[in-house]
């Protein structure tokens, strides 16, 4: 089968990680994968898998942007020249593009919804969802049905999968080596988050909790990995709370696993979360996770067994959950192992690929 992915860009991030993992599984299963995007810093990673990458000027957030409509002839040519069997879109802009091209070329089109959409008039007027719509969690599935009235028969739940080979259980020697790069002591407890710096991810809530944690454990380190529009405000918040010596900001890199190896606890205090791919990567690596009880996160974490769930925005509860794990190394280890086992059994790459292929075959 020849599959065409469409996404706005392929810079490091959640959707790109999802596509990279899915591409790896599809290529390994004997399928050909093509991707249309505006390009990005992960291009070489896709090409190393044998994915054919096409760069078009489609980086926009507007469904009415001329960029979308100027790209139509080029996408039609790609479909014809490479005998594409199915289109698979992953962002709002490429959903619009895919809907138009699929009708012009008479090719089936599936869209994956990686999170939540605002109920704007444009979305209601031009839904462009796809012949089938993949939801990455039960919470996203309910959102699509309840808020956008997509018929139940069109929405398919296919949870994101993790390449266990790319996120193995953390090796002690690797942890020590990577910590030395950042002058972190062997026995320091490191809390970490890897996410874009935005209001929805809740880094401000996490920072607000740190003074309470530092009161009891003055030497803890929080590593905030990512970049985004909230960076300035978050750094100012750190200064006001006088916890600069405890918090490190690090720009996002392509290989997040190297940072995971330095962490003892992963935290995701999101205000909203479709599922939580970075949480799943941390779990695969054997880390306990403290996360908000929102969206798809409760489907990943069994509270008190593989991690801890706290109510959204509850700074005190978040601090107390972190303190409970900082003071109990054995508990961290047991939770991390349970988290790894859960990903292995429920969210492997093979499961995601098999279920996605089932959707493709039903349509083709």
Which long-range contacts link 184-190 to residues 24+ away (Cβ below 8 Å)? 184/221, 184/262, 188/219, 188/220, 188/221, 189/217, 189/219, 189/220, 189/221, 189/264, 189/265, 189/326, 190/220, 190/221, 190/222, 190/223, 190/262, 190/263, 190/264, 190/265
When pLDDT is averaged across residues 136-159 and rounded to a whole number, the result is 95
Answer yes or no: do 216 and 114 share one domain.
no
Indicate the average pLDDT of the chain: 95
Answer yes or no: do 25 and 103 share one domain.
yes
User: What is the b/e burial string over 258-292, where b = at least 16 CB atoms within 10 angstroms of the residue's CB?
Assistant: ebbbbbbbbbbbbbbbbbbbbbbbbbbbbbbbbbb
Tally Cβ neighbours within 10 Å of residue 119: 10
In a domain, 25, yes or no: yes
Residue 5 has pLDDT above 70, yes or no: yes
Residue 123 has pLDDT above 80, yes or no: no
Tokens of 330: 């054995």
C-alpha separations of 226 from 170, 221, 342 in Å? 21, 16, 26
Answer yes or no: do 94 and 182 share one domain.
no
Lowest mean pLDDT among 12-26, 108-122, 263-277: 108-122
In a domain, 262, yes or no: yes
Answer yes or no: do 212 and 86 share one domain.
no
Answer yes or no: do 332 and 197 share one domain.
yes
User: What is the b/e burial string over 186-197, where b = at least 16 CB atoms within 10 angstroms of the residue's CB?
Assistant: eeebbbbbbbbb
Answer yes or no: do 308 and 202 share one domain.
yes
Can you say how many angstroms the Cα of residue 149 is from the centroid of all Cα atoms in its chain? 25
Q: Are 43 and 34 in contact (CB under 8 A)?
A: no
Question: Beta strands 289-292 and 265-268: pairing type?
Answer: parallel
When pLDDT is averaged across residues 71-82 and rounded to a whole number, the result is 98
Answer yes or no: do 147 and 53 share one domain.
yes
- What confidence score (pLDDT) does residue 13 get? 87
The confidence band for 272, taking pLDDT boundaries of 50, 70 and 90, is very high
Answer yes or no: do 198 and 340 share one domain.
yes
Answer yes or no: do 34 and 129 share one domain.
yes
At residue 239, the 3 state secondary structure works out as helix
Residue 122 has pLDDT above 90, yes or no: no
Range of the domain at 194: 172-346
Domain count, the chain: 2
Q: Are 278 and 256 in contact (CB under 8 A)?
A: yes
In a domain, 177, yes or no: yes
Q: Over the stretch 251-265, which tens digit does the pLDDT of each residue have?
A: 876 678 999 999 999
Contacts of 62 (CB under 8 A, 6+ apart): 93
The confidence band for 119, taking pLDDT boundaries of 50, 70 and 90, is confident
Tokens of 270: 């999101």
Q: Are 220 and 327 in contact (CB under 8 A)?
A: no
Q: Over the stretch 282-300, which tens digit does the pLDDT of each residue have?
A: 999 999 999 999 999 999 9
Bridge partners of residue 221, in order along the sequence: 190
When pLDDT is averaged across residues 300-328 and rounded to a whole number, the result is 97
In a domain, 277, yes or no: yes
- What confidence score (pLDDT) does residue 253 get? 67
- What confidence score (pLDDT) does residue 64 get? 83
**Cα–Cα distance, 280 to 265 (Å, whole number):** 13
CATH number at residue 228: 3.40.50.2000
Give the whole-number percent of the chain exceeding pLDDT 90: 90
Q: Between these two residues, 214 and 122, which has the higher pLDDT value?
A: 214
When pLDDT is averaged across residues 131-142 and rounded to a whole number, the result is 96
In a domain, 166, yes or no: no
Answer yes or no: do 205 and 126 share one domain.
no
Q: Is 51 exposed, middle or buried (0-12, 13-18, 19+ CB in 10 A)?
A: buried
At residue 32, the 3 state secondary structure works out as strand
DSSP string for residues in 251-268: ---S-THHHHTT-SEEEE
Q: Over the stretch 330-357, which tens digit does the pLDDT of each residue have?
A: 999 999 999 999 999 999 999 999 999 9
**Best CA proximity match to 248, nearest among 186, 182, 199:** 182
- pTM of the full structure: 0.92
């Amino acid at each position: 089968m020849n599959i065409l992915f469409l996404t706005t860009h392929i810079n490091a991030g959640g959707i790109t990680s999802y596509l990279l993992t899915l591409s790896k599984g599809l290529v390994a299963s004997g399928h050909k994968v093509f991707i249309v995007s505006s390009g990005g810093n992960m291009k070489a990673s896709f090409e190393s898998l044998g994915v054919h990458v096409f760069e078009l000027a489609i980086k926009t957030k507007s469904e009415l942007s001329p960029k979308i409509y100027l790209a139509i002839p080029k996408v039609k040519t790609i479909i014809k020249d490479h005998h594409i069997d199915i289109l698979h879109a992953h962002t709002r802009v490429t959903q619009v593009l895919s809907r138009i091209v699929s009708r012009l070329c008479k090719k089936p089109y599936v869209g994956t919804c990686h999170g939540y959409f605002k109920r704007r008039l444009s979305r209601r007027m031009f839904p462009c969802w796809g012949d089938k719509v993949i939801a990455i969690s039960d919470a996203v599935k309910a959102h699509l049905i309840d808020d956008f009235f997509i018929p139940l028969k069109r929405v398919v739940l296919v949870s994101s999968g993790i390449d266990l080979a790319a996120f193995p259980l953390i090796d002690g020697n690797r942890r020590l080596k990577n910590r030395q790069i950042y002058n972190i002591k062997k026995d320091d407890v490191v809390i970490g988050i890897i996410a874009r710096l935005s209001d929805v991810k809740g880094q401000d809530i996490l920072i607000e909790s740190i003074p309470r944690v530092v009161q009891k454990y003055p030497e803890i380190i929080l590593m905030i990995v990512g970049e985004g529009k909230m960076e300035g405000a978050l750094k100012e918040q750190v200064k006001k709370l006088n916890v600069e010596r405890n918090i490190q900001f690090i720009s996002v890199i392509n290989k997040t696993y190297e940072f995971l190896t330095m962490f003892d606890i992963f935290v995701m205090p999101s205000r909203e979360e479709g599922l939580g791919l970075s949480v799943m990567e941390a779990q695969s690596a054997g880390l306990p996770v403290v996360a908000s009880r929102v969206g798809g996160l409760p489907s990943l974490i069994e509270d008190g067994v593989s991690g801890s769930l706290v109510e959204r925005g509850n700074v005190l509860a978040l601090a107390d959950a972190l303190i409970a794990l900082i003071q109990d190394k054995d508990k961290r280890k047991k939770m991390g192992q349970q988290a790894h086992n859960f990903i292995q059994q429920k969210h492997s790459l093979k499961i995601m690929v098999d279920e996605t292929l089932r959707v493709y075959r039903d349509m083709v």
